[in-house]
Each structure stands twice: as structure tokens, then as C-alpha cells.
Amino acid sequence: MSYQKKAAKWMNQYPGIEDLEQKAEKRMPFVAWEYLQSGTGNEDAVRRNQQKLSEITLLPRFMRGALNIDTSTQLFGRTYGAPFGVAPVGLTGLMWPKIELFLARMAKDYNIPYSLSTVATQIPEDVGALAGDMGWFQLYPPKENDLRSKLLQRASDAGFNTLIITADVPVPSRRERTKRAGLSVPPDITPRLIWQGMMHPTWSIATLRNGLPRLKTVESYSEIKDMKAVGEFVRFKFRGNLSWEYIKEVRDLWKGPIILKGLLHPLDVEEALKAGMDGIGVSNHGGRQFDGAPAAIEMLPEIAKIVNGKAAVIFDSGIRTGLDIIRALALGADFVLMGRPFVYGVSALGQYGGDHTTEIFLDDLKNNMGQLGVETIAQVKNLKAAPVHG
Ligand SMILES: Cc1cc2nc3c(=O)[nH]c(=O)nc-3n(C[C@H](O)[C@H](O)[C@H](O)COP(=O)(O)O)c2cc1C
């Protein structure tokens, strides 16, 4: 049965992202859920992201007649169906098997970008074939030049046209909550995990059918394929290598647009512009890296001012509604990404769950554009938003 047959029923049953979140929690083993949800430290940054978004208000205008609402958006010389896409998420198959494949197909159907993580559980060739020209590839920076060139070439050959370099993982984060849940990366098959699996039979059957999640992309460069060894390989070969020199080298290697994701400091933004970045990714990694970070939305206006049209501003961290998308665009973003909401969708509803996540965002985006009296994304960007009316 295709998504279309389920759409109306699902929209009544699961009208918001929080409905998918609740259902996903029930269907996933605890350890996978904790991995998905966790921030780090006290998880203040996670809470701040949503709190600060919800404080932003906008003033609606009326008497504008029948509105013809259009969500299409220009970015990097392409026209996307909406001003949002899927953020890179690693270890995806732990949350639900084949998640990358379902979301890549969905992204192509909706004409929105899908970002594949370096540490995803499916390979660029399989995902790229489904994403068509909607594929973005996220790079955790390999230490060795040879590995870096091979990986970039591979992503490009697989059809990925836009590169995301993740800046905000200089060291791994502590993620106490995932440690308490007993997760090692990659996951160890402990009696605890087996027990949790038994309590979540749909997940377990899907996992048995597809095999345990493996970091398949990086695995192909590691001599030892055992999951533990691949985890170590990632830790030692893909972390803590970024410098402006490195960014410039990648700039020379990658022909398409590059987004530097995870920037919060205005001086880093200025450097990124000098290094020829096409996109500035304003993000605090969904609150997963540094608990003392401001909400990403707090830094957006200042960063947008510095960028001033010299690059695109791509925002993520905490977006849960179409209204949040409008808030980010009104504060200076050109485009937004969501991470957890798409994982909720697939984990809650299976292969068409990502379609439903997109439908919720689209429906809420259009509805709130209507409430505000705007018809186009360009008009959304011209709205005046403020934490308090002003
Ligand atoms: C489970 C999980 C795994 C993630 N893995 C990656 C990753 O591999 N690479 C990356 O750049 N960002 C990663 N992120 C961060 C997301 O790309 C994005 O910045 C974040 O999820 C946005 O916040 P949101 O979940 O509130 O939408 C991950 C996020 C989550 C929740």
C-alpha cells in the first residue's frame, strides 16, 4: 500500500511530530531510543533549542484575499519543493533498519534534500540511487588524504551533489544518557540488548531480516570488519582533524556546493566565508555535543547579518513544526534541516513514515504561511520575527 492510501488516516491519527515521537518510543528498544533522543551533560542545550524557538512570535497580516501558497525554494541553483530537508543522522539502522533507504526515496518523491552521514548504516551507492539528485553527503573528516579523496570521489560518483562538513565534533561528546543505557558504538550484542529486542518484536524482526546495523561506508576502508574495530577506526581516523587549512583542501577537492555545519561563533562564520563555503550551517548538533552552547536559533540573526547573502544560511537544531521553519526563515535562514523528526517518522510508521513527517511539516508550514498572510518563501524571509513583538 502506498503512502497516499494512508495519508488522510495518518494525518488524523498522528497530526504532529510529537505523535510520531511517542509511537517511535514504544516501537524502539530502549538503547536505540536513548541514542536518538540524548543530548549531553544535563541536556540543557536540547531543551534550550526548542524553548528559544517557541518564544519567537510573528505578527499576522489579514485582508489579503485568497492566498496561493507556494513552498518551493531556491538553493544552490536548484529548486526544492520546500525550504527543508533531512539532516545527517549516524548509526541510523540501530533506530530502524533501512531508514536511509526509506528517507532517500521519500526525499526524491518530495523534491527535498536527504543528507547521508559518513557513519550511516547504508552505503552511498545504494542511497544515491534512490535519492536521485536530492542527495547531500555529510563528511566526518578522514585524517588521511588518500581516504578523504576516495570517500569524496565515491560520494560524488554515487550522485551526491552537495557536501556537508561537520565542524562541531572536535572531540566525541560524553552522552551520559546513552552510556547509562548501555550503548557502545557500534552496538554490542549484550543480553540486555537481546531482552530489549524481544520486547520490541517489530524492530527485532526487521533487524533480523536486515542484519545488525553496521557502519557500512567506513567499514569498507577498515582492514578489520569486526564492529568494534570499525568503531575504533572511526574514532582514530575520522575525528579531530579539522582546521581551516583542511577546509580549504576539501574546497579544492569538491566541485559542488559545501555547507560547513555546526557553526555558532561569528568569527568562525567569517573564516568560513573566506574559505569559500557556499553554506553556513547554524547548528548545535541538536544539543548533542556541547551542553553549554546557546540555542542555535539565538545565534541565527547575528550570523545571518554577517553572511549577508554571501552564502546560504542552513539552520538546524530543535525544529519540530512548520511554524518553527517559518521562525528560522524569518530570522535569516535560507533553508532548514531536521534530524530526529524523520527518524521518529520511520520508526513509528515504517517505510512511509518519513513521508508522513514531511507531510506534517508541509501542512503546518502552509497553514502558518496562510495565518501570516504570506504566499511565498521569499515573503516568509521578509517577515519580522522577534522573541517579543517589536
Ligand atoms: C541520532 C542522531 C545522530 C546524528 N548523527 C549525525 C552525524 O552523523 N553527522 C552530523 O553531522 N550530524 C549528526 N546529527 C546531528 C543532526 O544532523 C542535526 O544537527 C540535529 O539532529 C538537529 O537537531 P534536531 O534533531 O532537533 O532536528 C545526529 C543527530 C541525531 C539525533
Phi then psi dihedrals of residue 130, to 5 deg: -85, -30
CA of 32 to the centre of ligand 1 (A): 14
Residues 305-336 have pLDDT tens digits of 999 999 999 999 999 999 999 999 999 999 99
Give, using CA atoms, the residue closest to atom 30 of ligand 1: 89
Is residue 176 exposed (0-12), middle (13-18) or buried (19+ Cβ within 10 Å)?
middle
* Strand duo 385-386 + 57-58: pairing: antiparallel
Give φ, ψ of 112 to 5 degrees.
Answer: -130, 155
Instruction: Answer whether 93 contacts ligand 1 (Cβ < 6 A).
Output: no
Check if 166 has its Cβ closer than 6 Å to any atom of ligand 1: yes
| CA–centroid distance, residue 158 to ligand 1 (Å) | 22
* Ligand 1 touching residue 115 (CB < 6 A): no
Please list the alpha-helical segments (H only) found in 55-198: 92-95, 99-110, 124-131, 145-157, 176-180, 191-198
Q: Which of 200, 285, 356, 389 is catalytic?
A: 285
Ranges of residues in the chain with a pLDDT under 50 are 389-390
In 3D space, the residue among 220, 6, 216 whose CA is nearest the CA of residue 94 turns out to be 216
In angstroms, what is the span from residue 207 Cα to ligand 1's centroid? 22
Q: Is 285 a catalytic residue?
A: yes
Question: Mutate which of 96, 138, 151, 285 to test ligand 1's pocket (most atoms within 8 Å of Cβ)?
Answer: 285
3-state SS string for 137-170: EEECCCCCHHHHHHHHHHHHHCCCCEEEEECCCC
Q: Which three cell numbers stand for residue 150?
A: 576516495
CA 62 vs CA 67, 372, 375: distances in Å: 11, 8, 12
Q: Give the domain range for residue 340.
A: 3-386
Q: Find the 372 Cα to ligand 1 centroid distance in Å.
A: 30
Cα separations in angstroms, 200 against 191, 203, 208, 381: 14, 6, 12, 43
Q: What is the pLDDT of residue 11?
A: 97
* pLDDT of the residue at 185: 64
Contact 28, 200 (CB under 8 A): yes
| Atom 26, ligand 1: residue with shortest CA distance | 318
- Centre of ligand 1 to C-alpha 10, Å, is 26
Total structural domains within the chain: 1
- Any ligand 1 atom below 6 A from CB of 37: no
**340 Cβ inside 6 Å of ligand 1:** yes
Ligand 1 neighbour 48 (Cβ under 6 A): no
**Cβ contact 334:313 at 8 Å:** yes
Which residue's C-alpha comes closest to atom 21 of ligand 1?
A: 339
Domain CATH number, residue 293: 3.20.20.70
Q: Is 259 helix (H, G, I), strand (E, B) or coil?
A: strand
Burial of residue 348, with CB atoms counted within 10 A of its CB: 0-12 exposed, 13-18 middle, 19 or more buried: buried
pLDDT at 389: 43
Q: Rounded CA gap, 68 and 296, in Å?
A: 31
Closest-lying ligand 1 atom to the alpha carbon of residue 318: 26
Nearest to 242 by CA among 301, 166, 148: 166
Give the amino acid at 83: P
Q: Is the CB of 175 under 6 A from ligand 1?
A: no
Of all protein residues, the one whose alpha carbon is nearest to atom 28 of ligand 1 is 89
